[in-house]
Structure 1
Amino acid sequence: MPDNVQGPAIDRGDRAALRADCANCFGLCCVALTLTRSADFAIDKDAGKPCRNLQEDFRCGIHTELRTQGFPGCTVYDCFGAGQKVSGETFDGQDWRRAPQIAGQMFQVFPVMRQLHELLWYLTESLSLEPARPLHAEIRRTLDETERLTHLPADAFSDLDVAGHRDVVAELLLRTSELVRATAPRRKKRDHRGADLIGARLKGADLRGADLRGAYLIAADLTGADLRLADLIGADFRDANLSGADLTGSLFLTQAQLNAARGDAATKLPPSLGRPTHWDR
């Protein structure tokens, strides 16, 4: 490990460092990523080209009107804090406008950092799960290694085997999930991993302890459903109705998944996540 690489900095009891802080980012998600004209984005935009709505101060000019202006995909996206890490640490506060020579590398590092930060989110959650205690030592080691990778110098990211590291983490998260879901009361075999549940009528369904990893729940009716202890990693909740659903204790749920769904004041959420503002409209 290079001498200038910092050690673990994630507080395992607080995921604040894994939440997007747009005020301390140089608008990287608005530049580095490709946008494709669709129901989520009103325009086509190549990677490395600033979005037309990005202002000189790196703020979005239509932030409060993204959904009505045809950019609901922007309200769903979550960088897990990768933006401020790349802006403030990896590139030491240099921005791509004043230092155009670093722009290309910065835009390449950002999506890699985002993947690592997402893994940190899941691993940090895993350490809070009591049924997974037999795995906690291994989880800590993997979390520390993932955190170490986020502190690598910019030129090291091009050689980083992110896919290989994701596979290691994925296997560990699966084992964690199995231990936790085994505690679900009256658990039946509910293996819906990668299932096509688009538009499914699951109102009031008892999905406690279900494996919904990567399931397609687009526009599904989950009104009043019980999703406690359900593994939701990678589940697609776009336009799913979560009104009155109980998501407390669900596994590996992210803010981006909630932002893509519909819900109401009766939807019960894990304490680490917030109620999307558009649910109140």
Structure 2
Amino acid sequence: MSESHQAPADGRARLRADCASCFGLCCVALPFAASADFAVDKAAGTPCRNLLADFRCGIHASLREKGFPGCTVFDCHGAGQQVSQVTFAGRDWRTAPDSAGQMFQVFAVMRQLHELLWYLSEALTLPEARPVHGELRRALTEVERLTGEQAGTLAGLDVAALRARINPMLLRTSELVRATVPGRTKNRRGADLIGARLHRADLRGANLRGAYLIAADLTRADLRAADLIGADLRDADLSGADLTGSVFLTQPQVNAAKGDTATTLPGALERPAHWRT
């Protein structure tokens, strides 16, 4: 789905989906509805009609053309192979159908844990966040331990409570990074910016946590050091935008947006193949 890209030197290198080591969990466990993103309805726990016997996608090379662009946006941060090969030790849901329900439940939990690992690993690469590096390392160690727990423990894990404990550290990280930007930065946390005209906007160091930027025009916008955790970038136009040093941006967010060769991304992220050349 993406062009080749040098893997990040930090712990995020292992937080990349390895579909060859997964039992097609995202193609079975997750539901989707017929829409612009998916050509058909599919219930949770039901295999996608395009899933092959060897757990590969039968239309992977033409997902967008076949009406499944939503599949090209999704990224499990490596949760699929962790559940398939570690939690369930290589036992797949087809040959061990009694474990299928629990496997799908654990996959949903593992995906959230791996997303937290992505954020924590990123924060530990940021020199501005040194004052909280100790807390971040302890949190990273805890989450890594949890990913290795037994299926029953993972299925009952209170991820919301875990997020609530970790979020203050990520907020502090964001504040420390954004404080390096001169002047007063914009606070658009959770803002409704759907379809907003932000061409060439100066959003350096902006707080855009959870902002709704669906179909926003961010062409040639300056998003350096902006906090984009949880921002909805579906169909946002990032052509020519500068996201150098932006924090907590993930591959699914980038995949959901539009861009071109002039868009600059943080080094750990890949330029989607569907972006304009």
Query: Fold conserved (TM > 0.5)?
Result: yes
Structure-2 separation of matches of 1:273 and 1:189: 25
Give, in whole Å, the separation in 2 of the partners of 1:232 and 1:51: 31
How far residue 159 of structure 1 moved from its aligned partner, in angstroms, is 2.1
Q: How do residues 198-237 of structure 1 correspond to structure 2 at under 5 angstroms?
A: 198-237=194-233
Q: Distance in 2 between matches of 1:208 and 1:257?
A: 18
1:82 matched to 2:79? The reply is yes
Query: Equivalent residue of 1:266, what SS?
Result: coil
Residues 202-240 of structure 1 deviation map (CA, whole Å, 9 limit, x = unaligned): 111110000000101111111111100000001111111
Runs of 4+ in 1 over 4 A off after TM superposition: none
Residue ranges of structure 2 left out of the alignment (5+ in a row): 1-7
TM-score (norm 1): 0.94
- The answer to whether the 8 Å contact 1:12/1:127 transfers is no
How large is the RMSD of aligned CA atoms in angstroms?
A: 1.2
Q: Which SS does the other structure have where 2:274 is aligned?
A: helix
C-alpha separation in 2, matches of 1:90 and 1:274? 28
Contact 1:20 1:82 in 2 (8 A): yes
CA apart distance, 1:274: 0.7
In 1, the alpha carbon distance for the partners of 2:226 and 2:13 equals 24
Partner residue of 1:252 out of 242, 248, 266? 248
The 2-side partners of 1:74 and 1:180 are apart by: 33
The answer to whether structure 1 residue 269 and structure 2 residue 265 are counterparts is yes
* From 123, 126, 133, the counterpart of 1:126: 123
Give the C-alpha shift of residue 185 in structure 1.
2.4
CA distance in 2, matches of 1:221, 1:162: 34
What TM-score do you get using the length of structure 2 for normalisation?
0.95
Q: Which amino acid aligns with 1:217?
A: L
Partner of 1:139: 136
Among all aligned residue pairs of Structure 1 and Structure 2, give the percentage whose two residues are the same amino acid: 69
CA deviation string 1:40-63 (max 9, x = no partner): 111111111100000001011111
**Relative contact order higher in (CA < 8 Å, ≥ 6 apart):** 2
Deviation for aligned residue 1:170: 1.4
2:108 match:
111
Q: Taking structure 1 as reference, are residues 18 and 155 closer, same or farther at Cα in structure 2, changes over 3 Å only? A: same
Query: Which segment is superposed worse, 49-58 or 156-165?
Result: 156-165
Aligned length: 270
**1:33/1:47 contact within 8 Å kept:** yes
- 1:65 match: 62
1:204 and 1:222 in contact (8 A); partners too? yes
In the alignment, the residues of structure 1 paired with residue 20 and residue 42 of structure 2 have an alpha-carbon distance, to the nearest angstrom, of 23
Moved more, 207-216 or 33-42: 33-42
Letter of the structure 1 residue corresponding to residue 241 of structure 2: A
Q: For structure 1, list consecutive stretches of 5 or more residues without a partner in the other structure.
A: 1-10
Q: Which position in structure 2 is the counterpart of 1:194?
A: 190
CA distance in 2, matches of 1:174, 1:131: 13
Question: Contact between 2:185 and 2:203, CA under 8 Å: does it hold in 1?
Answer: no
Could you tell me how far apart the structure 2 residues matched to 1:35 and 1:205 are?
34
Which residue is equivalent to 2:4?
A: none
